[in-house]
Structures are given as C-alpha cells and as structure tokens.
Amino acid sequence: MRVASIYEPVREDLEQVERTLDAIRQAEQFSELRKMLEHVLGGGGKRLRPLMALLAGKFGDYRPEPLVFLAASIELLHTASLVHDDVIDRSSTRRGRPTANALFDNQAAVMLGDFMFAHAADLVARTDNTEVVRLFSRTLMAMVSGELSQDLSAYDYGQDIVSYFERIGGKTASLFAASSEGGAMLAGAPREWVKALYDYGHNLGMAFQIVDDILDFSGDEKEMGKPIGSDLMQGTLTLPSLLLMERSPESNPIKELFRDRRCSKHLAEAVFMVQNSDILEESYAVARDFAQRACAALEPLPDIPARHALGDIADYVLERRA
C-alpha cells in the first residue's frame, strides 16, 4: 500500500481543509498566537481524521463546503485536546518536537487549546446540521471523560483491560468514529451506512490507540520523539502493561514503579519484561482484530474508491512505526 493513495479521492478538499486552518492562523492579530498555532498545526500530522470525514462524505451527496468545515473542526478539536493533554500529563515532547507547554508555558498552552476549541465549535456550527453539532459535543464529552479517567486513575494499580478499552474508546476512538460518522451524516447517507461508518471509525480508533501504546514500548525513540515507556512513567496502564500484570500478578515491577514513581530501575525492568515476551505480539493481534472489524464494517458500503481508501487507512494504522 502506498500511503499517498489513501488521500487520492479527496486530495483537493483536503487541501481546502489546510487552507481553512491556515486562514484561522493568519487572521489572528497576535503574532505570539500565530506562532503557537503554526507550531501545533504544522507538525506534519497525517490529517487522518479530516481524511476520514471527507472520504465518508463520498457515501452520499458529497458537498465540499460543510464537509471541509467538519474536517477542519475535527482537526482543531484533535489538536486542542493534544495541547491540553500535554499540559495535564506534563509532557514535554510529542513526535520529537517540544510540546506547546514546554516551548511556551502552561498558561499559553491553556489559552492556545481554548482558542482552538472555540474555532472548532464555530466550524462545526457552520455545517448548519444540528445532528452533527450534537455529535461534536458528545464526542468532546467522551474525549474529556477518557482523558479524565486516564489522569484520575494514574498510578492506580487496580485497573483492568475492560476499563482500558473504555478509556481509549473515549480518549481516541470517539473522535475517529465521529469523523467517519459525521462525514456520512453531512452527506445524508442512509442510516445503515452511517452506522457502518461509525463502526469503522470506532474500531479503527481502537486499533490506532493500541498501536500507539505498543510503540511506547517497542518504537524507535528518535522516530517516536519521546522516551520508551513514557506511559508507564506517567502512571498510565496500557494494553502491554496490563497484559504483563495479568501474567505476573505477584512479581512484576509495575507495582514497585507506581509506589516509587521516580525509580527508573523498575521502569527499565518492566520495559524489558514486555519486550522479551510475546506481549507485544499479543497486543498487535488485538489491534489487528479491531482493524479487521473496522474493515468488515465497510462491507455494506458500495465499492467506490473512497471505500478502498478507508480500507487502506486500516492497513496504514497497523503498519505505522511512529
């Protein structure tokens, strides 16, 4: 699969999404804010969510204008949530670049996130579709709840895989689901196709987050742009660490790490144990299972280029290395 092919069916409108984001930045009177927006929106993101929204619009009456508004709104909402999450998690790097809170400060990052939330809300309102607006607000709630539950349960040893799935369902999969569901809604696609695209997005988002959580153990620190094991270091249990705890309920270093939070010996030990087991393989199998469900959800849809592109996104999500 060539990555470029996934963008093909909607390339022009995706460029329009970029121009919409640029226009928001350039219209801003404060140069500090323009600089911050450029930093967080220009980080070479894959724009997967806007892409999904546009592709989903192909399964009905494809009207570029409301779809571009939705796609840009989703990218802003996504970026705003990353900016605030980095404040909340005290993260200093993301994809090898300093986070907004590290580069500017917490105060500026809060402001920046709020600014993007406001523009995201404005853009989605401009779709003039109440159903899509309600989808947006429900999704924001789900994302915040997922992030809250991650932060309020940090260093809490008593979590299980069910609560992990719930957590990433809110934090990540809800926005993937809203992207494809919202695009289909705007195009006035038939109910069952909207439902299919919701299922696709949700399952794809689950796969995406699990791969993210695997890469936190196995990825290349340079490519990832953050240290290995950073989730555990922040007290966040993900699928690989939960599997490690399931397998060695009595003797595993995570318990110690969560008690004595700054001890890098326990962290290194936990990472070593995960890497030298079949845990990452098993985690990939779970991610693959979600990605397969995502593709299976596409079956009722007509066989058009957009459907192939959505299928290719699922492959990309599994294959990505950073």
Is the Cβ of residue 105 or residue 299 nearer to a copy of itself in the bound state? 105
How far is the CA of 13 from the CAs of 44, 63, 68, 299, in angstroms? 18, 10, 7, 25
The structure tokens 């930093």 sit at 39
Is 273 a binding residue for a copy of itself by CB under 8 A? The answer is no
Q: Report which of 290, 280, 81, 255 is spatially closest to residue 172, judged by C-alpha positions.
A: 81
Residues with Cβ < 8 Å from 155, sequence gap 6 or more?
235, 258, 261
How far is the CA of 319 from the CAs of 149, 194, 313, in angstroms? 28, 27, 10
Scanning 29-37, 39-47, 183-191, 194-202 for contacts with a copy of itself by CB under 8 A, the matching segment is 29-37
Cβ 137 vs Cβ 122: under 8 Å:
no
How far is the CA of 110 from the CAs of 80, 114, 313, in angstroms? 9, 6, 32
Among 21, 37, 40, 87, binds a copy of itself (CB under 8 A): 87
Among 13, 147, 212, 216, binds a copy of itself (CB under 8 A): 147
Is the Cβ of residue 118 or residue 304 nearer to a copy of itself in the bound state? 118
For the four alpha carbons of 79, 155, 203 and 144, in that order, the dihedral sign comes to negative
Is the Cβ of residue 167 or residue 202 nearer to a copy of itself in the bound state? 167
Among 16, 149, 172, 241, binds a copy of itself (CB under 8 A): 149
State which of positions 151-180 bind a copy of itself (CB under 8 A): 151-152
How many residues of this chain interact with a copy of itself, rule: CB under 8 A? 43
Is 140 a binding residue for a copy of itself by CB under 8 A? The answer is yes
* Sites of contact with a copy of itself (CB under 8 A): 29-30, 32-33, 81, 84, 87-90, 106-107, 110-111, 113-115, 117-119, 121-122, 124-126, 128-130, 133-134, 136-138, 140-141, 143-145, 147-149, 151-152
